[in-house]
Amino acid sequence: MGVNNQLQDALAAGAQEFLARAQLGVDVSVPVYALLVPSADEVERQASRILERVQVSQDIRPSRARLTRTQETCTLVTSSGIRALAFYASGYVTIQTPLKGHQHFISARETDVNPSELIRAAEGLMERLAPAANLMHPEPPAFEKTRFEKLWQIKGTSVLPEQPNQAQPVVTSRAVGAFRRNVHGLSVFGPASIFIKFAASSQLDSLGMDWRPLRAATPLASTPIVPPDRAAARLAEELSLERMESEGPIDGYTPEWVRLGYLSLPKRRTQALLQPVWVTLLRAKSSPHAVNGTLDRLIAVPASTTPLEPISRYAPGPDGSSIRRRAPSAGFRQPVSIERGLAPVDPVRMSGEGIGAKPAQNPSIADPSAEDSIPPNTELGKR
């Protein structure tokens, strides 16, 4: 299946626009970091500590949790019904409170909801939950930041049997605040780094944390990035491979944005490196309900000029097989060689923010906006 030239040109233009907006040249170098790959015991201990901190934040006396294990996950449940689910491959943790879906609606009328107040509530909850979140990233270096990214509202309505032609008022049952991790001003794409789902009066419904900590604040190396035209070719080829799997066309997409950033792999995959990637959000031209199944796609490809750790679902694993979305968690647990082909860190070129071609006085090279936002549970290849 060939790559659509019009799509590839649009991707290249999007990448070039990002570099221009961030005041970066095509010869920019980006740091590469080693990530901590936790053991199963470390994942369980961390999940237990996070669960305890969440109970404290909710004014609940911490209680001993019951632990159950599967091959990929562990689950801890307290006597109060709060549940933690952690993934051994990544350390990704979700917390679910016993709050019922039909309880504590935010508003009985859609028109009564003020999004600004919900954002403030999400940020307030984030502050209350900071002790729990800090367990995922204790004492992060100054170049790591967390910013609020997007608010979602969960709404619903109903129809009474005695009034089948008259819908009841739309109610807002829950809100979800998503927060994005930034490294040197570059977004770490993937699921929301932290999401908080809450009900009325800022009552916690659930939260999730996808934060793979750096092994050290000092980068392993800096790597040049591929220019926009090569980035576009890689993105288009990745989309082509994906659409071949689903037997759909590749000419039904238009790129909404193209960004340079980092990437957190799906929660069932281990990850040894935080490396630069080119990411695009591709909007489907047809309806999401089209017969060919065309949906929006989030595509990421390596931005480095030399091969590092594979990130593609179609890259060969250690046994030569392809890595699918639900690949075994041991997919990249093998040690990864990263020195070959990487440029050593040059303290002269490296600014205070770590990006080689960026003036030190500008603390952020990315300029994300609300339109860059990604739903909390988005994984590569689907939206």
pLDDT tens readout for residues 201-239: 899 999 999 999 999 999 999 999 999 999 999 988 888
Segment of 7-16, 71-80, 237-246, 280-289 carrying the highest mean pLDDT: 71-80
**Interaxial angle between packed helices 228-246 and 5-21, expressed in degrees from 0 to 180 and rounded to the nearest 10:** 130
Domain assignments of the chain as residue spans, ordered by start = 5-36+217-372, 40-87+92-209
User: Would you mind telling me the total number of residues written for the chain in this entry?
Assistant: 383
Q: Where are the alpha helices (DSSP H) in the chain?
A: 5-21, 40-57, 115-128, 130-133, 228-246
**In this structure, what is the dihedral angle of CA atoms 237, 242, 247, 249, given to the nearest 10 degrees?**
-50
Pair 101, 155: CB distance under 8 Å: no
pLDDT tens profile 68-109: 999 999 999 999 899 999 999 999 999 999 988 778 888 877
Q: Which residues pair with 85 in a beta bridge?
A: 75, 94
Q: How far apart are CA 128 and CA 105, in angstroms?
A: 21
Q: Is the pTM of this model over 0.85?
A: no
- For residue 350, pLDDT over 70 is answered with no
Share of the chain above pLDDT 70, in %: 74
10 Å CB burial of residue 160 (0-12, 13-18, 19+) is exposed
